[in-house]
């Protein structure tokens, strides 16, 4: 238990070489992400995505200049992804919401009768030999204390956190409990001493799993704690399959790899990039530039701020050769679905990032919202711009935290 390949390898690199690290030398840890439902209910997806957008924007406004912004997580059943992994000794297998928009990892602990989400299994510390409470002197406790999100109790033996999502004044979206450490098992690799929140009370919408796995760029996140430098996911468009989530995967190789720098606007803890322009058919419109475009696993739709939204929408409307259907649920470019199921009537769509082009499959931006209607998946944002999980489907997306680069490549996710 005390020695495993991962730990030895990390120690070797960190202490013997003491040289700049190359993350591609580290082992790859494999987990999976699974969408909570096979068919997305777009009415719920819109509501959930919109709430996530507005609370994220409110929080960013409230903490501008502060690296600690956390994204909120709202409403279940709108196309979110759960990450499957095991925790403890012997391992307890759980699934928890995979969220690149926040950092803290937390799980419902014990009976947790006043916890959201309800109905999902809990982690039981009392049946694990590798569980420990994190003392107040623990490094991650210091990170939370610095943000006034934790306090010491039990004479310094316990670090109690209250971590809220969205507006700090909101009392209805939070998780609270005590910080702990455990062995996390990803695929076949056991990694000891991962700090996480043992939650005893929570409110809010966190999917259908047992908590949340923060995959952001801050020090509390699973990505930072695994010290892997980079992680990637490939969200499959096949609803019957799960999607690979790889920690420590090296630079993407082969045809079609595109890379763009991560930028620190609107927050250095998010995976934001410079969207310079958008080509729809034969029309190119401005992107969101250095205001940022956030790659987010936890939002289902895609949002563009003005004027990017209205100009891109006009390009879609003027070049789509289908019968218009009424606007619905914030979608403003809807059409009667072609009876032959063809998608060629929609103009091609390409996102141009700083140094990288993303040529989108039609299924990534024209979605079937039911009742014979298809809609362009982009909606207007009054604040931040987000590329949601549908638009990222069938690409391997590498989040290279160490080098502040985001890369992607068209991929058959089942082959990774
Ligand atoms: C662990 O705690 C739960 C609930 O608190 C209890 O039902 C269970 O018996 C305990 N298990 C052990 C091995 O102590
Ligand atoms: C907490 O903040 C202080 C002062 O800004 C800083 O010196 C310290 O490194 C921070 N600790 C952690 C764990 O972030
Ligand atoms: C762009 O495409 C439209 C039809 O979709 C066509 O009418 C127009 O001439 C094209 N413009 C250019 C500059 O190619």
Domain spans in the chain, listed from the N-terminal domain onward: 27-247, 258-415
Per-residue model confidence (pLDDT) at position 171: 58
Q: CA 138 from chain center: how many Å?
A: 26
Residue 341 pLDDT greater than 90, yes or no: no
Residue 19 pLDDT greater than 70, yes or no: no
Rounded to whole angstroms, the Cα distance separating 235 from 245 reads 9
Q: Best of 109, 124, 198, 200 to mutate for ligand 1, by most ligand atoms within 8 A of CB?
A: 124
Per-residue model confidence (pLDDT) at position 5: 41
| Atom 13 (ligand 3) nearest CA | 282
Residues marked active site are found at 99, 296
Average pLDDT over residues 28-32: 88
205-227 confidence digits (pLDDT tens): 777 789 999 999 999 999 999 99
How high is the mean pLDDT of the chain? 86
Smallest Cα–Cα separation from 305: which of 321, 286, 280? Answer: 286
H/E element, 280: strand 272-280
- Nearest ligand, CA of residue 318? 3
From the CA of 403, how far away is ligand 3's center (Å)? 41
The DSSP secondary-structure symbol of 16 reads I
Which atom of ligand 2 lies closest to the CA of 139?
13
From the CA of 181, how far away is ligand 1's center (Å)? 19
| Atom 9 (ligand 3) nearest CA | 282
Site residues for ligand 2, CB cut-off 6 Å: 139, 142-143, 146
171 or 299, greater pLDDT: 299
Residue 325 pLDDT greater than 90, yes or no: yes
Q: Considering the entire predicted model, what is its pTM?
A: 0.86
CB-CB contact of 220 with 161 (8 Å): no
Q: Which fold has domain 27-247?
A: Cathepsin D, subunit A; domain 1 (2.40.70)
* 410 C-beta closer than 6 A to ligand 1: no
The DSSP secondary-structure symbol of 6 reads H
From the CA of 231, how far away is ligand 2's center (Å)? 26
69 or 128, greater pLDDT: 128
Which atom of ligand 1 lies closest to the CA of 127?
13
Q: Which fold has domain 258-415?
A: Cathepsin D, subunit A; domain 1 (2.40.70)
Residue 401 pLDDT greater than 60, yes or no: yes
Q: Which segment, 23-37, 74-88, 360-374, is predicted with the most confidence on average?
A: 360-374
Average pLDDT over residues 7-15: 38
161 burial type by CB count under 10 A (0-12 exposed, 13-18 middle, 19+ buried)? buried
* 126 C-beta closer than 6 A to ligand 1: yes
């Amino acid at each position: 238990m005390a020695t495993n390949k991962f730990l030895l390898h990390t120690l070797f690199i960190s202490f013997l070489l003491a040289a700049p690290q190359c993350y591609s030398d580290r082992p790859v840890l494999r987990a999976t992400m699974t969408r909570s439902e096979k068919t997305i209910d777009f009415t719920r997806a819109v509501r959930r995505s919109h709430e996530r957008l507005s609370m994220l924007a409110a929080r960013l406004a409230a903490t501008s200049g502060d690296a600690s912004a956390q994204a909120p997580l709202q409403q279940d059943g709108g196309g979110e992804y759960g990450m499957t992994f095991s925790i403890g000794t012997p391992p307890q297998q759980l699934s928890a919401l995979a969220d690149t928009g926040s950092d803290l990892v937390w799980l419902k602990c014990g009976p947790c009768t006043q916890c959201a989400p309800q109905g999902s299994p809990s982690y039981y510390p009392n049946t694990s030999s590798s569980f420990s409470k994190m003392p107040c002197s623990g490094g991650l406790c210091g990170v939370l204390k610095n943000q006034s999100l934790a306090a010491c109790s039990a004479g310094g033996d316990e670090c109690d956190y209250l971590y809220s999502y969205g507006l700090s004044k909101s009392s209805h979206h939070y998780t609270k409990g005590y910080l702990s450490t455990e062995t996390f098992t990803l695929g076949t690799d056991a990694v000891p001493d991962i700090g996480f929140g043992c939650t005893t009370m929570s409110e809010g919408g966190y999917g259908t799993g047992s908590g949340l796995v923060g995959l952001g760029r801050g020090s509390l996140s699973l990505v930072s704690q695994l010290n892997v430098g980079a992680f990637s996911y490939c969200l499959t468009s096949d609803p019957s399959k799960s999607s690979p989530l790889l920690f420590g995967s090296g630079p993407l190789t082969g045809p079609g790899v595109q890379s763009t720098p991560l930028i620190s606007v609107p927050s250095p803890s998010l995976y934001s990039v410079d969207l310079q322009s958008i080509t729809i058919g034969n029309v190119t419109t401005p992107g969101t530039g250095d205001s940022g475009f956030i790659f987010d696993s936890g939002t289902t739709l895609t949002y563009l701020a003005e004027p990017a939204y209205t100009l891109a929408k006009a390009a879609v409307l003027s070049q789509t050769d289908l019968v218009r259907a009424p606007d619905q649920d914030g979608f403003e470019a809807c059409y009667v679905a072609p009876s032959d199921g063809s998608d060629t009537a929609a103009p091609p769509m390409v996102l141009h990032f700083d140094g990288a082009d993303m040529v989108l499959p039609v299924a990534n931006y024209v979605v079937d919202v039911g009742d014979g209607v298809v809609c362009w998946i982009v909606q207007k944002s009054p604040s931040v711009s987000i590329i949601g999980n549908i638009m990222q489907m069938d690409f391997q997306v590498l989040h290279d935290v160490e080098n502040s680069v985001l890369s992607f490549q068209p991929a058959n996710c089942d082959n990774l």
